[in-house]
Amino acid sequence: MYRKIDDFLKDWKNEEEFTLKIFSLISAESKSERIHEDVRTLDRLAWHLTQTITEMGKRAGLLAEDLLEHQDIPETIEIISDIYKTNSELLCRAVRLKWTDSALEELVPMYGDEWMKGKILHILLTHQTHHRGQMTVIMRVLGIPVPGLYGPSKEEWVAMGLPAMN
């Protein structure tokens, strides 16, 4: 749970960069390729991450409306990336303007429960990390190089002239 707005905003900016790094490696050919009938496609997951910003933002009272609700997946990853960036900025601006550090322990109705505002910020971040992890597994299966986000990836170890960890 977050107790300081600035801590969330710093973490979110880093995670936003990681998310956009993942998005940038998805090609037009791979974006909607299915690896299994029960596994979402990369473009579906990218769009889900994008829609979650406005969906949770509205539920939390940060955004006036959920402009992405019921919208179909855009045609390209580039469009999804642009929409993601725009809404990420809107979310950060709203958090900074509407919430204070002292308000992060206030309860907000969320999904049939009540969550502290600081928990909402934490869930926004970890939800994104969770689905990015799914995306990297799908990318690996599709033969797309995976970027190192929290440390070097297999490809990055090799590029550094070091043995890749198994």
Q: Which residues are annotated as a binding site?
A: 48, 127, 131
Contact 58, 66 (CB under 8 A): yes
Q: C-alpha 9: how far from its chain's center?
A: 14
> Cβ distance 144 to 27 under 8 Å?
yes
| 114 bridge partner residues | 109
Tokens linked to 103: 């308000």
- Whole-number Cα distances in Å, 99 to 17, 84, 134: 23, 22, 31
Q: Which residues are annotated as a binding site for a divalent metal cation?
A: 48, 127, 131
- Which residues, at least 6 apart from 59, have a Cβ–Cβ distance to it below 8 Å? 108, 109, 110, 111
CA 74/CA 137 separation, integer angstroms: 22
Which has the closest alpha carbon to 115: 130, 127, 129?
Answer: 127
